[in-house]
Chain A
C-alpha cells in the first residue's frame, strides 16, 4: 500500500470543550489558577487531535510507510475563540507526503451552526520510513 501524495478525509466528528477538561489542560500548561476561569486555551484542540479516529488514521499510514512519527510543526489559526461547555464539529484531512516523508493533518473546527472557527495543522516527520526518497 502506498498512499504517499494522497489525502484521506476524516469526519465530521463532534468534539466538546468541557469545563473540567479545560481546567485540567490549563493546570498542566502553566496557567495560574483562577476560580471560574473558562477561557479555552489556544492549543486545547490538541486534545481533539488525539481522538481515536484520527490516531487510527495516522497509525494506519505509519504502518504502511514504516518508521515513527516525530512532531515537526504545529499551527492554529483562529477566526473566533472557542467557548467552554460547547460542542464543535471537527473535519480533517490527512495527507501523506514523500521527499521528505511526512504526514500532514489539517483539521477544521466549526460551531454546530457550521460557522468556521479554527484551522489546525499538524506536521509529522516520518523517521525511518520504508522507500524513503534519496
Chain B
C-alpha cells in the first residue's frame, strides 16, 4: 500500500487536439471547441475535455502493471485545464485485497501545471479498481 505510480506530464494540448478528441469520442460540446463560448462561460481559453484527461490514466496504469486489468474507474471533475496548459497525472495504491484474485485500488489525480512547471489546481480525482489479469 502507498506505492506511487510514476508521474506523467501531458500536454500542452492545442485546439486541434481537442477537435481530434471530439471526433474520436463524439463529444463535440462547443464549450471545448469554440473560444467565444468558453469566454462567455468565464474561461480564458477552451477547457480540455475532462474525459480526454481521464483517458490518459489507463496508459499510465498499463505501463506500471501489465499484469493487472483496469476494471473500474470513478472520476470527479473539479477544475478545468485549458488549451495551452499542461497537466500531470499521479496516483498511489490505497488498498490491496484478495477476493477471488488479487485486487488493487488506486487513488488517481490530475493536476493542472503552472507555467513554471509546479503543480496547480487539482483538476480531477479518480478511483481505479484493478484485477489481476487472467492469463
B39 within 8 A of A: no
Q: Which of A28, A29, A47, A71 contacts B77 (CB 8 A)?
A: A71
A60 within 8 A of B: no
Q: For window 18-53 of chain B, which residues contact chain A by CB distance below 8 Å? A: 20-21, 23-28, 50-52
Q: Contact residue range for chain A? A: 20 to 34
A28 touches B58 (CB 8 A): no
Identify the stretch in A3-11, A38-46, A107-115 within 8 Å (CB) of chain B at 4 or more residues.
Answer: A38-46
A29 touches B75 (CB 8 A): no
Residues of A within 8 A of B17 (CB): 28
B69 touches A81 (CB 8 A): yes
Chosen A-B contacts, 27 in total, with CB atoms closer than 8 Å, are: A24-B20, A25-B24, A28-B17, A28-B52, A28-B55, A29-B58, A30-B60, A32-B59, A41-B55, A41-B58, A42-B70, A42-B73, A43-B51, A43-B55, A50-B26, A50-B27, A50-B28, A73-B74, A73-B75, A74-B54, A74-B75, A74-B77, A77-B72, A77-B129, A78-B71, A78-B72, A79-B71
Q: Which 5 residue pairs spanning A and B have beta carbons closest together?
A: A50-B26, A29-B55, A30-B56, A75-B74, A24-B24
